Amino acid sequence: MARTPIMAGNWKMNLDHLEAAHLVQSLAWNLKDASHDYSQVEVVVVPPFTDIRTVQSLVESDELSIRYGAQDVSIHDEGAYTGEISTGMLNKLGVTYVVVGHSERREYHNESNELVGQKAKKVLDAGMTPIMCCGEALEIRKAGQHVSYVLGQIDAMLANLTAEEVAKSVIAYEPIWAIGTGEVATPEDAQEVCGAIRNRISELFDGPVAEAVRIQYGGSVKSSNVREIMAKPDVDGALVGGASLKADEFTKIATYLK
Ligand code: PGA
């Protein structure tokens, strides 16, 4: 079965709920104008927690086909965890995807592969889909260790997931040196690691699981480079930061097939 490409816009800590409404409306309008077929390319926005309720209201009232996600989640269900948000809370807001283990969370909040794996499990248990991030820093790439490093992350993150869970998950390969730097990995760089991840999943589970899992590339994806990256066989979508904050630019990325 062919994998449906998935374009997800990670807004990071940008846009308040009013700005969020504006961006989602503009995006929906643009995509309608372009007769976008959402079954051909899935379109996802990943706003800050404080915007999710607003995005939900718009998506439901206007019956939009845009899906939305959250940027992180707690491993706890409820209780004395100041500042945390649970999977139950996200579920109630109609969230489809939850990004776990973004390199910025790993760096600024010391998140380990094990914790990221636990978060992914929590998300799956709640009936949502994790977007599990991995990727190497520049020194690792320069030392030529990027493939083994990323596969180590994959092994640890997937250790407690079943084959069925992995098959419906999304993995985002985001080399840290290419995030927000304008420095984009070449399509060959993206394919090298995305292909290695898929191979590893076929070793850890089986061929059909590897064929089903969707693997995104992320790091300075723009309308000007998305086509060549998406042309690679093991790249099934993009996790887009900066370029997802502009409706016109993200529309072009989502409609890269046209
Ligand atoms: P960028 O961010 O597109 O701004 O490089 C990507 C990401 O961090 O998901």
HSE (CB half, 13 Å, CA atoms) of 147? Answer: 14
Mean pLDDT, range 52-76, rounded to an integer: 98
What digits encode the pLDDT tens for the residues 93-152? Answer: 999 999 999 999 999 999 999 999 999 999 999 999 999 999 999 999 999 999 999 999
Number of C-beta neighbours around residue 80 at 10 A: 6
Measured distance CA(246)–CA(173) in Å, rounded: 22
Q: Residue 28 and residue 8: Cα distance in Å, rounded?
A: 14
At 42 the pLDDT is 98
The confidence band for 213, taking pLDDT boundaries of 50, 70 and 90, is very high
CA distances from 219 to 45, 55, 93, 149 (A): 16, 25, 28, 17
Q: Is the CB of 239 under 6 A from ligand 1?
A: yes
77-105: average pLDDT:
98
pLDDT, tens only, 151-201: 999 999 999 999 999 999 999 999 999 998 888 899 999 999 999 999 999
pLDDT recorded at residue 1: 60
Cα distance between residue 58 and residue 18, in whole Å: 11
d(CA 248, CA 250): 6
CB 254 within 8 A of CB 31: yes
In 3D, which of 15, 26, 44, 25 has the Cα closest to residue 239? 44
Ligand 1, residue 221: give the atom nearest the CA.
Answer: 3
Percentage of the chain beyond pLDDT 90 is: 97
Q: Whose CA is nearest to atom 2 of ligand 1?
A: 241
Ligand 1 centre and the CA of 250: distance in Å? 12
Ligand 1 centroid–CA 180 distance in Å is 5
Q: For position 182, what pLDDT does the model report?
A: 81
Structure tokens belonging to residue 225: 């480079």
**Cα 126 to Cα 16: distance, rounded to the nearest angstrom:** 27
Cα dihedral: 13, 17, 18, 22 (round 10): 70
Whether 102 is a known active-site residue: answer: yes
Residue of 36, 102, 111, 136 with catalytic role:
102
> Cβ(134) to ligand 1 under 6 A?
no
Contact 37, 76 (CB under 8 A): no
The predicted structure's pLDDT at residue 45: 98
Marked catalytic residue, from 136, 165, 174, 192: 174
Q: What single string gives the DSSP state of each residue in 221-249?
A: --TTTHHHHHTSTT--EEEESGGGGSHHH
Distance of CA 23 to the CA centre of its chain: 19
Burial class (CB in 10 A: 0-12, 13-18, 19+), 202: middle
- What gap in Å lies between CA 94 and CA 198, rounded to an integer? 29
In the 8-state DSSP scheme, what is residue 177?
G
Report CA(9)–ligand 1 centroid distance (Å): 9
CB 167 within 8 A of CB 214: no
Q: Is 240 in the pocket of ligand 1 (CB under 6 A)?
A: yes
Closest CA to 91 of 59, 58, 123: 123
